[in-house]
Amino acid sequence: MPNNHFKRGELYNVINGMGTIAVARRMQKNFRNAGLEITIEQWSVLFHLWREDKLSQQELCNRTFRDKPSITRLIDNLEKLHLVKRIPSPTDRRINLITLTEAAQNLQQITIDIANQTMAEALVGVDKSEIEIVKNVFQRVYNNLTQVSGE
């Protein structure tokens, strides 16, 4: 019957629909309300640089799951905002190392607080064990689709 037929298509729309979209919009809105001009995509790049500065663009691709042109343009825009700089790698002239400016360092605390607060709003009534399961499922999905047989 149709209902059964639709089940997994339905699931795709769940995973890639309401939840993720709602969280992204709220996060963006909370940034804006705090007077922050950055996009959540830009923020997710900064996030990885706060953990480890001077990553190559390729490494940022790997960590943010984006392709190279996406990172090129995100870095372009972050440079325009004076939040990062491209510096040439001393050992490989193909590579740019992306480094945070002082302005970006000042954003870490406030934006991560907002991210935490946004996720807290999002996860009201969801308990820790469920969150762990969601994380595990997404990790497995990612592995399923990017291992050997995959990409």
Partner DNA sequence: TGAAATTAGTTGCATAACTAACTATATGCC
Partner DNA sequence: GGCATATAGTTAGTTATGCAACTAATTTCA
User: At its nearest, how many Å lie between DNA and the CB of residue 98?
Assistant: 8
| Nearer to its own copies among residue 40 and residue 84 (C-beta) | 40
Pick from 27, 46, 49, 74 the residue near DNA by CB under 7 A.
74
Does the footprint of DNA cover residue 93 (CB under 7 A)?
Answer: yes
Strand partners, 84: 100
Instruction: Give dist(CA 84, CA 134) in Å, integer.
Output: 32
The one segment of 25-33, 46-54, 104-112, 137-145 that binds DNA by CB under 7 A = 25-33
Phi and psi, residue 121, nearest 5°: -60, -45
| Nearer to its own copies among residue 14 and residue 103 (C-beta) | 14
Does the footprint of DNA cover residue 48 (CB under 7 A)?
Answer: no
Does the footprint of DNA cover residue 84 (CB under 7 A)?
Answer: no
Q: Contact, 55 vs 49, CB < 8 A?
A: yes
DSSP letter at 147?
S
First to last CA, the chain: 33
Pick from 99, 102, 140, 148 the residue near its own copies by CB under 8 A.
140
Pick from 36, 81, 95, 123 the residue near its own copies by CB under 8 A.
123
Residues near DNA, by CB under 7 A: 21, 25, 28-29, 39, 41-42, 56-59, 61, 65-77, 86, 92-96
